[in-house]
Structure formats: structure tokens, C-alpha cells
Structure 1
Amino acid sequence: MILNYLTQEFEQEVKSTRNLLQAVPEKDLGYKPSEISWTMGELAQHIATIYYWYVGTLTQDVYDIAADELKRGDTNDIKATLELFESNVEKARAALKTLTEEKLKADWTMKVGERVVLGPLPRGIVARSFLFNHIYHHRGEMIVYLRATGNKVPGMYGPTYEDGKEN
């Protein structure tokens, strides 16, 4: 039952993430709100990359992120980031299909080399926090970046502020 809900949420939110990434203009990929912030291009690529992490999270009991290689491309090429996103979404869908309710209860750990950085925690908890909520967090950041650069924010949960201003 929970797995069915996660899968439905995944599909719904993929559409919202796609709309948001499609709203990122090439001209603003170098924008960053502060010295310690990512550029808009780096943030967009990070959002696309999180979908790749579904594979290691959902199919491995111990995921060593340092041993996992993903070719990401240029952060100054939004088309490349959108291609990365679409490719990673397909991989995430395939990983979701391998899940069972029992696997959601199983402990999962993330390592960077020999160092444990997350877990052990039940995989279902990790899916919600490290995957789903992590994407939502960074999408919120992207909305701030878009507004700060004068760009339109797409509606993800209904009309946006900008939609209301057009009426």
C-alpha cells in the first residue's frame, strides 16, 4: 500500500520537477545568490542527479556513493541537464519497480568510501527523506533563484504568484 503511494507521488512529482527544470533559462545558469551558493546550473544538475540516487538507494543495502560514477555533463547546458534528468527518471522508475513492502522496511546505509554518512535506517524512511524530500527542498531553492532573476515560476501545485498577476 505504501509502495503504491510512493510510486504515485513519484510520478506526480516528476512532472513538477520537469516543469521546473524546463523553466530554467540558459541565460541565467551562472546566477548564484551568494558566494557559498551553487549556480543555477549546478542546482539544476543536482536536482537531476538526485533521481539517479534512487538506484543505489532502492536496489542496494549499502550504497557507496563514492564508488558510483555518473557522467553529468556541463552545468552551463540546460539541455544536457534535462537529458540527464530524463535518463535518471527512467533509472529511478526501474528501481522503484524492484521494491516490495518488505524491502521498504529493510535497513539501508550510505557510505562515502569507508565512512558511513547515513543510516542504518529503514529504506522507506530514506526514500522519503534522502530522495523525495531532498528533491522538494532543492526545487524550493530553484524557485527562489528563478524569482530572483525575474523568471516565471511554473505552477506545480496550482497557480503561482505570477499566474495571479496576469489576470
Structure 2
Amino acid sequence: MSLNQALIAELKQEAASTRKMLERVPTEHLGWRPHEKSMTLRGLAGHVAELSGWTAMTVHTDELDFAKTEYAPPAVESTEDLLRIHDEHLEKAVAALQNIPEEDFNKIWTLKAGDQIYLQQPKKVVLRSMCYNHVYHHRGQLSVYLRMLNVPVPGMYGPSADEMPAAN
């Protein structure tokens, strides 16, 4: 299996789990946050929904310079918005990975803010660390938010405690 096909397979598998999590986000609690230093549910879920878009960005560019790039969080007013954002970014990510030449995975990609360099790694490393693992990290946070709101948490790699049959 080629590297791009392996990355696509992982992306699709994990995106299905991410989508299950996003489906549970209650619109009526989008402004809620568990702590004053924490993101709101809207901010966190919106970030989770948009993160697969970083895959296409990494494939199509050689750097992200925060000093030159204006960021606007996605407009999220409902659970449906989250799912739409997630699905759109996933589609673009899969297309980008399908079309990347194998040798481009070794090109160096840079994350910086002006002269301050935060990261310089081959694209294949950036895709796994900053793109994929970043989703998993925030998806874990989102599961805690859902738990704190008494929303049943879906299983990611098998049934969750909310999906297990009740013990007698």
C-alpha cells in the first residue's frame, strides 16, 4: 500500500469516529465552557470539525506563516454546521492525498510566525503529527466536554461506557 493510500485509510477511519462525536454536540450548549481558560464548546467542536482541512493545506503548501495568514474560526451555529464543515474538509483532504506525488511527502514543511520558526519537518511527519494527532487530541477533549454535559459519548475504538450494556 502506498503512503498516500495508507494516510487516506487512516483519515477516513478516524473521520468516521470524529463525525460520531460531532453528531452529539448539542446546539443549545455551544456557548458553554468547562473552565474560564477553556474554549467554548463552539470553539472546540468547530476546531475539531475544521482540522482535517489542515491535511489539504499541508499537501498544497510548503509553510504556514501566522504573521501572513488571517485566521477566522468557522461559523458554527448548529450541529449541522459542524457536520458540514467536517465533511467538506474531509473531502478536500482525501482529494489532496490522492493526488500528491510520493516524493512530495519528503518536502520540508514549515510552521512559523514571521521569523519565529515553530516546526520544520517533512510533510509526511507533519501530516501524522500536526494534522492527524491534533484531531485526536481535541476529539478527546470534546469527549470530556460531552461527558460533563451528560451527553452520551460515542465509542471510538469499540463501545464507550455509554454504549455498554448495563451490568446486573
Normalised by the length of structure 1, the TM-score is 0.88
Instruction: Measure the CA separation in 1 of the matches of 2:56 and 2:5.
Output: 18
Instruction: Measure the CA separation in 2 of the matches of 1:100 and 1:154.
Output: 36
Q: Residues 154 and 160 of structure 1 are in contact (CA less than 8 Å); yes or no, is this contact kept in structure 2?
A: yes
Structure 2 unmatched ranges of 5 or more: none
Counterpart of 2:39 in structure 1 is 38
Identity among equivalent pairs (%): 36
Q: Quick one: which amino acid aligns to residue 78 of structure 2?
A: D
The alpha-carbon deviation at position 135 of structure 1 amounts to 0.2
Q: Residues 41 and 78 of structure 1 are in contact (CA less than 8 Å); yes or no, is this contact kept in structure 2?
A: no
Normalised by the length of structure 2, the TM-score is 0.88
Q: Count residues with an aligned counterpart.
A: 165
Deviation track 1:11-70 (CA, whole Å, cap 9, x = no partner) reads 111111111100111122222111110011110000112122222211111233542666
Q: Residues 52 and 132 of structure 2 are in contact (CA less than 8 Å); yes or no, is this contact kept in structure 1?
A: no
Counterpart of 2:78 in structure 1 is 77
Q: CA RMSD in A?
A: 1.9
Q: Quick one: which amino acid aligns to residue 75 of structure 2?
A: G
- Seen in structure 2, the aligned counterparts of structure 1 residues 90 and 114 have a Cα distance that, compared at 3 Å, is farther
Counterpart of 2:94 in structure 1 is 93
Structure 1 unmatched ranges of 5 or more: none
The structure richer in helix per residue is 1
Q: Residues 44 and 142 of structure 2 are in contact (CA less than 8 Å); yes or no, is this contact kept in structure 1?
A: yes
Deviates more, 1:150-159 or 1:55-64: 55-64
The alpha-carbon deviation at position 166 of structure 1 amounts to 3.9
Counterpart of 1:127 in structure 2 is 127
Instruction: Measure the CA separation in 2 of the matches of 1:57 and 1:68.
Output: 17
